[in-house]
């Protein structure tokens, strides 16, 4: 494999960075704040684009193999995080670089705002926070759509699958959903800046929806309903969005998995509302909306918390349940973290196949079924690795004078890219102070975003032999 094969995706990333810098410059001029951080980012993006383009001498996405895909994933995310620090360093010149780096990681991986930087309520940060987490969501979809599922499965990569046209489709879909919800929030909030930031945060399933990093939501019921739909749309597969845009809105409800998920979520919400929140003195309808908001927020790995339930102290006993919801996550090729429900279905299939083999050891299976078993076993291994790595990482985190229970909650929050929502509910007061803690948590957030199976492939000696 040639490392030059990763240049094409880096070129695309630089185009997105330059586009984001231009939007940030226009936005900063409209709100009368400094545009210098974003102008510097634009110049650096153009410089890298020209340099890569000249060194590669072409712009064609061809000859991709799985090794190129895996390497492209890591290089892309590292470049996104490092370039994300450029405006932050200009905005907060007196802060330590380790805190700026950690803030860039938390925003890029759509974990939300996790920082102890004082005076963070600056309009420049308001702009870059929204754009950086939106870029993280877009990058997640692109990586998930083109790379992750191909690596987890044994199918060969088609040369025309990863193309400029497909990237344009994903970009336009993601942008269209953002614009639609921005208009809806503008009607509710009467502020374009707040509407844009809230839309970007929820579509990218990031809990950083305001400059203060506040994750307690105190809006009215109507706004919460619209926020629920924004989180749902952010956690759905981009392929389902494409079918809906191409064939009409009803395409969502023709999908069996989507209908089943909605029925399950709203049913569970109903029973939780009846059984657990009797002490919350609000109407049943508001209580139901609050509970629905909470469940969808954590299953979509957004991590926002409704104020009424939080204020009454009704969430402490749900920490374990909410943690499990974050580990499930949303659809494949969406902005969410987690194992993904479709992969849980693969686990069920794998167990069923193995039980069938034990009961019928002499039965000969068709060639197509064997290929299906191989794909299922790959995803089964990924899921086992994903779940087993959590207690290991928790044990490592506990070395930094943190008790194991708190370390376990912190790891689940970072590994599922939920951010500080679960930490807030569990009343864990923690921010990484040392450089080693910041590096460790940054790696955990990045591995959660990239997916642990691909991370382990990258660390294997077999992967590097032919590079």
Q: pLDDT tens digits, residue range 377-392?
A: 777 777 888 888 899 9
Q: What mean pLDDT value characterizes the chain?
A: 82
The gap from C-alpha 180 to its chain's centroid, in whole angstroms, comes to 20
Instruction: Give the whole-number percent of the chain exceeding pLDDT 90.
Output: 30
Top mean pLDDT of 224-228, 320-324, 360-364 is at 224-228
Of 165 and 107, more confident:
107
Q: What pLDDT does residue 371 have?
A: 46
Q: How many C-beta neighbours within 10 Å does residue 153 have?
A: 15
The residues that bridge with 305 in the sheet, in sequence order, are: 216
Q: Among 77-91, 160-174, 294-308, 453-467, whose mean pLDDT is lowest?
A: 453-467
Pairing of strands 305-306, 216-217: parallel
Tokens representing residue 400 in the block: 């930094």
Q: What pLDDT does residue 367 have?
A: 45
Q: What pLDDT does residue 368 have?
A: 46
Statement: residue 329 has pLDDT above 70: yes
Q: pLDDT tens digits, residue range 392-447?
A: 999 999 988 889 999 999 999 999 999 888 898 888 888 888 899 999 999 999 98
Nearest to 415 by CA among 424, 425, 426, 407: 407
Distance CA 72, CA 467 (A): 13
Distance CA 15, CA 22 (A): 11
Q: What pLDDT does residue 467 have?
A: 52
Q: What pLDDT does residue 150 have?
A: 63
Q: What pLDDT does residue 109 have?
A: 93
Distance CA 365, CA 372 (A): 11
**Which whole-number Å values give the CA distances from 112 to 134, 204, 260, 273, in the listed order?**
11, 10, 29, 27
The gap from C-alpha 2 to its chain's centroid, in whole angstroms, comes to 29
Place of tokens 């087993």: 388
Q: Strands of 153-221 (E only): list them.
A: 216-217
Residue 13 banded pLDDT, cuts 50, 70, 90: confident
Cα angle 303, 453, 208 (rounded to 5 degrees) comes to 20
Q: What pLDDT does residue 375 have?
A: 63
**Residue 147 DSSP one-character state:** I
Nearest to 2 by CA among 79, 74, 56, 57: 56
CB 219 within 8 A of CB 227: yes
Q: pLDDT tens digits, residue range 32-83?
A: 988 999 999 999 999 988 888 777 665 555 556 667 777 888 888 999 999 9
Of 224 and 374, more confident:
224
Statement: residue 249 has pLDDT above 70: yes
Of 162 and 220, more confident:
220
Statement: residue 450 has pLDDT above 60: yes
Distance CA 219, CA 107 (A): 23
Q: What pLDDT does residue 161 have?
A: 58
Statement: residue 102 has pLDDT above 90: yes
Distance CA 110, CA 132 (A): 9
The domain ranges of the chain are 1-158
Tally the residues of the chain: 467
CB 217 within 8 A of CB 312: no
Statement: residue 298 has pLDDT above 50: yes
Of 157 and 323, more confident:
323
The residues that bridge with 356 in the sheet, in sequence order, are: none
Distance CA 300, CA 206 (A): 9
Distance CA 254, CA 460 (A): 42
Residue 370 banded pLDDT, cuts 50, 70, 90: very low
Statement: residue 152 has pLDDT above 80: no
Q: What pLDDT does residue 244 have?
A: 84
Q: What pLDDT does residue 364 have?
A: 54
Residue 177 banded pLDDT, cuts 50, 70, 90: very high
Mean pLDDT value across residues 19-30: 93
* DSSP string covering 10-34: HHHHHHHHHHHHHHHHHHHHHTT--
Residue 84 banded pLDDT, cuts 50, 70, 90: very high
Distance CA 12, CA 20 (A): 12
Q: How many C-beta neighbours within 10 Å does residue 359 have?
A: 8
Q: What pLDDT does residue 229 have?
A: 92
Q: How many C-beta neighbours within 10 Å does residue 158 have?
A: 10
CB 137 within 8 A of CB 206: yes
Mean pLDDT value across residues 197-213: 85
Q: pLDDT tens digits, residue range 349-363?
A: 777 777 767 776 655
Mean pLDDT value across residues 263-286: 76
Mean pLDDT value across residues 369-378: 58
Of 2 and 143, more confident:
143
Distance CA 330, CA 133 (A): 17
Place of tokens 């805190």: 99
The gap from C-alpha 289 to its chain's centroid, in whole angstroms, comes to 24
Distance CA 190, CA 254 (A): 35
Alpha helices in 236-340 (DSSP H): 238-247, 251-254, 256-276, 284-299, 307-311, 319-328
Q: Provide the whole-model pTM.
A: 0.88
SS3 260: helix
Mean pLDDT value across residues 270-277: 73
Q: What pLDDT does residue 149 have?
A: 60
Q: How many C-beta neighbours within 10 Å does residue 96 have?
A: 12
Mean pLDDT value across residues 94-105: 92
Tokens representing residue 4 in the block: 């030059």
Q: What pLDDT does residue 288 have?
A: 85
Statement: residue 151 has pLDDT above 70: no
Taking the CA atoms of 433, 434, 437 and 443 in sequence, report the sign of the dihedral they define.
positive
């Amino acid at each position: 494999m040639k490392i030059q094969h990763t240049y094409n995706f880096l070129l695309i990333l630089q185009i997105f960075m330059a586009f984001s810098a231009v939007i940030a410059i226009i936005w900063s001029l409209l709100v009368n704040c400094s545009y210098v951080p974003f102008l510097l980012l634009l110049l650096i993006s153009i410089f890298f684009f020209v340099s890569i383009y000249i060194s590669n001498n072409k712009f064609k996405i061809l000859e991709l193999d799985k090794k190129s895909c895996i390497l492209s994933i890591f290089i892309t995310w590292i470049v996104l995080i490092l370039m994300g620090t450029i405006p932050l360093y200009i905005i907060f010149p007196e802060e330590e670089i380790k805190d700026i780096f950690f803030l860039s990681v938390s925003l890029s991986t759509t974990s939300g705002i996790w920082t102890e930087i004082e005076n963070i309520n600056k309009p420049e940060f308001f702009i870059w926070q929204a754009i950086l987490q939106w870029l993280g969501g877009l990058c997640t979809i692109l990586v998930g759509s083109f790379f992750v599922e191909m690596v987890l499965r044994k199918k060969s990569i088609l040369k025309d699958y990863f193309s400029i046209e497909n990237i344009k489709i994903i970009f336009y879909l993601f942008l269209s959903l953002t614009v639609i919800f921005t208009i809806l929030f503008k009607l509710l909030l009467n502020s374009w800046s707040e509407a844009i930031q809230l839309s970007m945060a929820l579509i990218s399933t990031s809990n950083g929806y305001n400059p203060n990093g506040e994750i307690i939501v105190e809006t009215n019921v109507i706004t919460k309903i619209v926020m629920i739909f924004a989180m749902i749309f952010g956690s759905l597969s981009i392929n389902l969005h494409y079918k809906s845009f191409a064939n009409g809105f009803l395409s969502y409800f023709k999908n069996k998995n989507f209908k089943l998920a909605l029925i399950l979520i709203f049913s569970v919400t109903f029973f939780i509302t009846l059984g657990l929140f009797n002490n919350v003195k609000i109407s049943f309808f508001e209580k139901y909306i609050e509970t629905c908001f909470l469940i969808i927020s954590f299953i979509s790995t957004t991590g926002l918390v409704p104020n009424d339930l939080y204020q009454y102290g009704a969430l402490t006993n749900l920490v374990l349940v909410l943690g499990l919801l974050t580990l499930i996550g949303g659809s494949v090729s969406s902005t969410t973290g987690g194992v993904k429900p479709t992969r849980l279905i693969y686990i069920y299939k794998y167990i069923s196949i193995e039980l069938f083999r034990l009961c019928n050891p002499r039965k000969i299976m068709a060639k197509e079924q064997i290929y299906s078993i191989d794909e299922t076993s790959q995803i089964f291994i990924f899921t086992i690795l994903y779940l087993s790595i959590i207690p290991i990482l928790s044990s490592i985190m506990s070395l930094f004078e943190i008790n194991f229970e708190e370390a376990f909650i912190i790891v689940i929050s970072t590994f599922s890219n939920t951010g500080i929502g679960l930490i807030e509910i569990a009343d864990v007061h923690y921010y990484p102070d040392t450089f080693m803690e910041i590096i460790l948590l940054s790696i955990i957030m990045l591995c959660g975003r990239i997916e642990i199976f691909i991370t382990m492939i990258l660390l294997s000696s077999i992967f590097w032999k032919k590079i």
